[in-house]
Amino acid sequence: MDPHIFLIQLLNGVQYGLLLFLVASGLTLIFGIMGVINLAHGSFYMLGAYLAWSLTAQLGNFWLALLSGFVLSVVLGMLLEWLFIRHLYRRDHLQQVLLTYGLILIFSELRSIVWGDDVHSVAVPALLAGSIPLTETLAYPVYRIWLSIICVVLAAGMYYLIQHTRLGMMIRAGASNREMTQSLGIDIGLLYRLVFAFGIALAAFAGMLAAPVSSVYPGMGNQVLIICFVVVVIGGIGSVKGAMAAALLIGLVDTFGKVVEFEIGGFRVLPELAGMSVFVMMAIVLLWRPEGLFGARLR
Amino acid sequence: MTQAVQNAQSRRDFLAGVGALAGISLLPLAGCARSDKVRVGFMLPYTGTYAQLGVAIENGFRLALAEQGGTLGGREVEYFKVDDESNPAKATDNANKIITRDKVDVVVGTVHSGVAMGMIKVARETGTLALIPNAGVNAATGDLCAPNVFRTSFSNWQPTHPLGKVMIDNGHRKAVFITWKYSAGEQALQSFAEGYKAAGGTVIKELFVPFPNVEFQALLTEIAALKPDAVACFFAGGGAVKFVKDYAAAGLKNNIPLYGSGFLTEGVLDAQGDSAEGVITTLHYADSLDNPRNKAFRAAYREAYGMEADVYAVQGYDTGLLLAQALEKAGGDISNRDAIIAAMEGAVIDSPRGRWTMSKAHNPIQDFYLRRVENGDNKVIGVAWKGLEDPARGCNM
C-alpha cells in the first residue's frame, strides 16, 4: 500500500472509530455506568435520525433541528425512565432485556406509523457541505471531519463530567453502591433519571449527527446496536476512556481489515472476511483481559 | 382492502383457529366450502421494510384484473392474504397457511428471495400454481425450476448482466465491482463479470462490504487508489442511498463514472439528491419509459390508488395480466392445470415495461433499458440489451 493511501486509510479508521464512539457513548452511560442493558439503544439512534430528517424539513434549519431534537429526546428519556426503567434497577438483566426488546418493537412500529418505511436523507448543512481534495481522484467531506471534532469534544466533556465534577462523583457513587449513596442524602432516583435521559439523548444525538452522512432508513438502529455493545465490552464496562480506545481500535481494525490482504501460517486472509475481523479482535481482547481494556476488575 | 374483506378474513382466521382446536375431524369441511370462484392468494410482505413493495404488487395485480372486469376467464375471484413479514424463518408456515389451509388455486408471492425459496418448496410439494412478482433469486428459475412456478419480474442474473457491454461501449475497459457480501450481491457480481469479460473488459478488483454494513469510506479510498476506468455496483434501499452519497462526497463521481443495477436508483432518488446525477443503471423498467402503454398504466394506477406506480407495481400488474391471459385461454377452468401452464409458457405480455415472453425456465425474456439519472429522474437513454434471457443454469425443464 503506498504511503499516501495508507495515511488516508488511517484517517478513515480514526474517523470511523470516533463515529463509533459517538454512537456508543450513550450506551456507555446507561449500560456501563448504570448497569442497565438497553437493547433499545439502536432504536433511539434511529429515532434521532428520523427526528433530524423531519425537524429539518419543518424548521428549515439543521442546527435548530439538532437542538430541538436533543431537548425532545431528553424529555422522552425521562418519561421512559419514569414509566418503565426505574422498576428494573433491582431486577435481573433478563427482565431489562425483555423490556428494552419490547421497546425496539414499539419504536419500530411507531416509526412506521409516524414516518413510514421510506429511505430518506438529510442534506449536509451548507456551512460544511464541501470536500477537501486529498489526491487527484479523492476528496474528504468536510462534514466528516467536523463530526470527528464533535466526537472528540463530546468524549472530553463526558470524561470531565464523570471523573471531575460533583455530579459525576454522585453518578459513580450511585453506580457502585446505590443504598449507601441514597443514605447520604442524594436523590438517587432523580440522578438515575437524568443519567438515563442523557444516555438516550446521546444515542438520538448520534443519530441526528450521523443522518447527513448516513441515510435515514428503518433498519439503521439494529445495525449499530451490536457494534455499540462490542465497543462497551471491549473498552470495559463503565469506562469512558475504554470506550474511546475500543472505538478507535475497532475503527482501525475494520478499515484495514477491509482492504489489506495478508497471510498467517500459509492461510490467506482476504478482505472479504472483514465482517469477522472486529469480532475476532473482541475475542482476543476478552481472552487477554476479560474485564475489557479499561474495565474495573470483575466484581 | 375494504373493511368488509378484512372482517371476513379475520373471521376466517378465527374459524380456522376454532377448527384446529376442535380437532382434525372438522378439516374436511373446509374442503367442502370451496366455491367455483378462482381462489387467489397473496403471500406478500405487508409489514416491515418491504411493506410498500407488497402493497404496490397487490395494487398492480388488482388493477390488471379490474381492467378485465374484475374476473379471471369469466370467473369471479376470491382473494386471500398472508403477511410473510419478509421473514424466511416463517416462509414455510406462511406458504402452508395460504396453500393448505386457504386452498388457493394460485399463490402470488413474494418480495424477499429467502421467503420465496420457502414458498417454492411448498408449491413444489403441493403442485400449487405459484407466480413470483419480485424475488430475484436465480434458483427459482434455475436449480429449483418447476412446471408450476413462474416469475414475472427478473432473475438476479439479469439486471447487472447488460452493464458490461454498456461500459465497454463507453470506453471503460478496467472496472471495479463493489457490493454487499451476500447472495444477491454475489449473483449480481457474477453475472456482471460474465457480461463484462465477454465484451472485452477486465474486473481489476472485487470489493465487498459485510451485509448490511454501510461504512464505505475505506473501500472508496481503495477505489481512488486503484483508479479504474469505471465502477459498477449492486446496492439497494438505505445502502444504495448512502453509497451514492458517499461516492459523490469522496469526489469520485467526477473522475470515475458510477454504474449499477437499476435498483441503485429505484425509489431512492429523492433521498440521493444531486449526488445521483449522472449515475447510469440498467433495469427492465423506468418510470419515465416513453410508450403509450406505460403512460396509460401510470395514469390508471394514479387514478385508482392516488400514488405513483413503480417497478414493483408493474411486476404485480404483469402477474395479473399473465394469470388473466392463461385463464382466458383455458376457458376459465382453473382445474385444467396443463392448459393453464401451457398458456403461461406461451404468453406474450403487453406490459408497461414493453412486450415480454416467458422463457423455458419460466422467467421473463425482456428488454433491459439504459437509464441515466437526470434532474432527479431515471431517464431512459436507450435499450441496453434487447430480449435478455436468463441462462437458467441447473434447470432441466
Sign of the Cα pseudo-torsion (A39, A41, A46, A51, in order):
positive
CB atoms B251 and A120 under 8 Å: no
Instruction: Check pLDDT > 70 for residue A265.
Output: no
Q: How far is CA A54 from CA A44, A60, A107, A111, A118, in A?
A: 15, 10, 16, 12, 13
Q: What pLDDT score was predicted for residue A63?
A: 94
Nearest to B81 by CA among B133, B184, B8, B20: B8
A3 belongs to a structural domain: no
For B71, phi then psi, to 5°, come to -120, 165
Q: What pLDDT score was predicted for residue A296?
A: 66
A8 belongs to a structural domain: no
pLDDT digit string, tens, across residues A153-167: 999 999 999 889 999
- CA nearest A15 in B: which residue? B217
Instruction: Check pLDDT > 60 for residue A23.
Output: yes
Bridge partners of B181? B210
Q: Name every chain A residue with its beta carbon within 8 A of the beta carbon of B240.
A: 119
Give the Cα separation of B189 and B138 in Å (integer).
13
Residue of A11, A147, A217 to mutate, interface with B, max B Cβ within 10 Å:
A217
Average pLDDT over residues A75-95: 91
Q: Name every chain B residue with its beta carbon within 8 A of the beta carbon of A218.
A: 48-49, 238
The nearest CA of chain A is from the CA of B376 a distance in Å of 14
The nearest CA of chain B is from the CA of A106 a distance in Å of 13
Average pLDDT over residues A282-295: 89
CB atoms A274 and B241 under 8 Å: no
| Mean of pLDDT over chain A | 88
* A54 lies within 8 A of chain B by CB: no
Query: Residue B74, Cβ neighbours under 10 Å: how many?
Result: 12
CB atoms B237 and A254 under 8 Å: no
Domain that holds residue A257: 17-127+141-288
**Three-class SS state of B114:** helix
Q: How far is CA A270 from CA A6, A140, B74, in A?
A: 18, 26, 59
A278 belongs to a structural domain: yes
Instruction: Check pLDDT > 90 for residue A269.
Output: no
Instruction: Check pLDDT > 50 for residue A222.
Output: yes
The nearest CA of chain B is from the CA of A52 a distance in Å of 14
Compare CB distances from A274 to B210, B224, B242 and report the shortest one's residue. B210
Query: Residue A181, Cβ neighbours under 10 Å: how many?
Result: 20
Give the Cα separation of B284 and B157 in Å (integer).
12
Domain spans of chain B, in order of start: 34-154+291-362, 158-283+368-388
Q: What pLDDT score was predicted for residue B261?
A: 95
Please name the fold of domain B158-283+368-388.
Answer: Rossmann fold (3.40.50)
Q: Name every chain B residue with its beta carbon within 8 A of the beta carbon of A121.
A: 241, 245, 271-273
Quote the Cα angle for B102-B108-B109, to 5°: 105
Compare CB distances from B238 to A8, A131, A215 and report the shortest one's residue. A215
Interchain CB contacts (distance < 8 Å): A and B = 121
- CA nearest A4 in B: which residue? B225
Look-up: residue for cell 482501525?
A252
Count of structural domains, chain A: 1
The nearest CA of chain B is from the CA of A18 a distance in Å of 13
Q: Do domains B34-154+291-362 and B158-283+368-388 have the same CATH topology?
A: yes
Q: Which of residues 118-147 of A touch B (CB under 8 A)?
A: 118-121, 123, 131, 133, 135-141, 143-144
Nearest to B115 by CA among B136, B141, B146: B136
Look-up: residue for cell 417497478?
B311
Q: Which residues of chain B have pLDDT under 50?
A: 1-9, 11, 14-34
pLDDT digit string, tens, across residues B60-73: 999 999 998 999 98
* B307 lies within 8 A of chain A by CB: no
Q: What pLDDT score was predicted for residue B31?
A: 40
- Domain B34-154+291-362: CATH architecture, name and number where available: 3-Layer(aba) Sandwich (3.40)
Compare CB distances from A215 to B227, B267, B271 and report the shortest one's residue. B271
> What is the per-residue DSSP string for A184-246?
TT--HHHHHHHHHHHHHHHHHHHHHHHTTTS-B-TTHHHHHHHHHHHHHHHH-TT-HHHHHHH
The nearest CA of chain A is from the CA of B252 a distance in Å of 6
Q: How far is CA A231 from CA A32, A89, A104, A288, B290, in A?
A: 11, 23, 20, 16, 52
**Can you read off the three cell numbers belonging to residue A280?**
475476532
Q: What pLDDT score was predicted for residue B8?
A: 47
Higher pLDDT, B182 or A101: A101
Least confident of A22-31, A289-298, B131-140: A289-298
The complex scores an ipTM of 0.82
* B226 lies within 8 A of chain A by CB: no
Nearest to B264 by CA among B365, B167, B378: B378
- CA nearest B214 in A: which residue? A214
CB atoms B218 and A13 under 8 Å: yes
CB atoms A16 and B208 under 8 Å: no
Q: Name every chain A residue with its beta carbon within 8 A of the beta carbon of B55.
A: none
* A277 lies within 8 A of chain B by CB: no
Q: How far is CA B211 from CA A118, A223, B76, B255, B264, in A?
A: 20, 10, 44, 27, 16
